[in-house]
Structures are given as C-alpha cells and as structure tokens.
Structure 1
Amino acid sequence: MPMFLSSQYPSPEEIDLGWLFREGVPNQEPDSTSWGYSISQEEMDALRTVLDEETYQWYLTADIYKTPRPVAEALLEQYLGLSLEETDQVGLSRLHYLPEYDAFYSAARDTAIVLPHFTAGAWRKDGTVELIYHDKLECFRENCNTPEEVYSLVQTPWKNSWHLVSNTQIAPQSP
C-alpha cells in the first residue's frame, strides 16, 4: 500500500505505474517467504534482448524486481477500482514487459517507499475521506510543525474496503 503514495495523482487513472511497481510487489505464491517474485536466468536472458547494454549492466548491479501482470491487475482493482487498461498508463514505459513471462521488470538501488505520518483526516460531504500526511521520516522522530511537504490522500468507501481517489501535494499549513 505505501507505494500507492510514491507518486502524485489527481485521479486514480493518472497514478504513475512506473513508481507504483518500481520495487515489485509482495510475493503471493503459496509458502513464499520472500518480498518479491524470483527472476530466473531465462528471464535475465530475455531481458538482455530488450535492454540496451548499458541498462542491462545497470540491472546487474541493482535490485531487480518482477511484477506479474495479473498481480498488478489485481492490486490496481483492489486499491483503485481500475484495470491496467483503464489507467492512463503513466510511467509504464519505465517498466520492461516480457510477454513470454507476462510480467513487468524494473531495477532500483534505493527505495521510493513512503512512510506516511498522518496528522489529520476528515469526512467530506461527498462521502470520501481526506487524510493529511507528511512523507518525511523525521516526522516520526520530531514535532514536524513546519514540514516542507504535506500531502492529501483521498479515499472513497468501496464494499468492505477503500479505493484511492487522489494523492496530491498541498501547501504546508501555518502553525
């Protein structure tokens, strides 16, 4: 769920899929104890045919992530109420798709995960809920009265859960 906060989007269709799936997804295979999905040597060989040599060499020095398309579809449906085709496919070109494995691949040396520090929330007249948060780790350790970045996450009730409506930066509020 925190990767849904890794980009800003005024509507769910505009979420940056490149950031959302940049670090893979939790492994949902039975009996898995790892974070992501494993990548075989055959998949690495297939990636070598679609990546330029510089990018491939960079992949070899980074953490490589695999996101099976059906898993991506399920997460988009669960949290946004959309299929992959219903999104604007923002950032999807930063992921490398191998049709023979029906999966997207990416690599990173750092993390884009957001650890939100929620500071306020309110029900809106339209039935949505707006949550205000800071994305700086320091907010967990300090008072955070003057954060540089403040965000608004809007959700709408859906069945027994919630769908994300938007995640946008807002101006810091005066103390």
Structure 2
Amino acid sequence: MFDERAALQLRLEQMKDAEERLIREIQKERAFIFKRLRELDKEENSNKAEQVEQLHFLESFNAYLEAPDDSNEQENLESSKSRRARPSRRSKTTKMRDTAIRILKEQPTPIRGIDLKRAIEEQTGFQIANMTTFMNTISKADSKIIKIGRGLYTYDEDRLASETIILGTDENNQAMGSEQ
C-alpha cells in the first residue's frame, strides 16, 4: 500500500537526485568556463605577471572544477562540500577594531555609540550590523575600552580592568570603595 509517508520519502529521494544532477551540471559549466578563460589567457599572453597570477588562481580551483565521475559521485559531492571555505573575516574585524580604538583614544570625552559607529563605517568602508555586539567583542580584546552608560564609550589608558564604574558622582565611587 502506498501511503503519504512513502510518497514523501520518494519525493525527498527525487529532490536529492535532482540536486545532485544540478550540482554536476553547474560544476561542468564552471569547468568549461574556466577552461575557456585559460585558453583566452594563453592566446593573449600580453602581460606575463597578470597571466601568472591568473593561472595561479585558476590552478588552485582545478580539483574543485573537475566534474565528478559517475563511480565516485557521492565522494566527490561530499568532498566538494567540505572544500568550500569561507573568506576570512579576521582582517576586516581587525581593521574595524583598530579604527575603533584609535577613534576612542583621540576622543577626550566619551563618544556616543552611534557617532562611533558612523566614524568606523566611514573610515573602514565596512558596515557594523550590531554596534553593541561589536563593542562587547572588542572590549574583550582591549579591557581599556569602557562602556560608561547607555551607548557611551571611552578609552581609559589609566584605568585598571577590574575597577567598577558607578554612574553618578565621585562620592558614590568613594563610598562604594570604603564599604568593601
């Protein structure tokens, strides 16, 4: 008897097969395009430095570009998934962090988070999706970055990392210090 569960399982199998065929077709087309680009580069041969750089780029993708064999279909599909690498965000984050620290050091008074965000985005060209998360992350890297209040940040080179800030007057800070 053919029930709904069997129909759904059959459809999942059909979808999986269709996905695998589509991936193979895309890989074959990509391989053809890169092969043609290599041929065009060889024909031009105008600038040796550019040609070497482009060939180096193309050669690094040779293993990925080759279409999978029918015998090793599943292995190639799995290995191509594992080969996909994400671009490194480290340089972007480092640049943004260094810019934030520099801006905070230049400011003698606390700066609003929105103003700091605009300045960082202007100078680096990168967007900050969540300023609070960004500032919390870089505060872990540099304990001298202090969040004074709601959305106010400063850089205090003299401050100890373990010191607690209490908003208000200095008398509150002294009173808290004497109670401990």
TM-score with structure 2 length normalisation?
Answer: 0.21
Higher helix share: 2
Higher strand share: 1
- Higher relative contact order structure (alpha carbons within 8 Å, sequence separation ≥ 6): 1
CA radius of gyration, larger in = 2
TM-score with structure 1 length normalisation?
Answer: 0.22
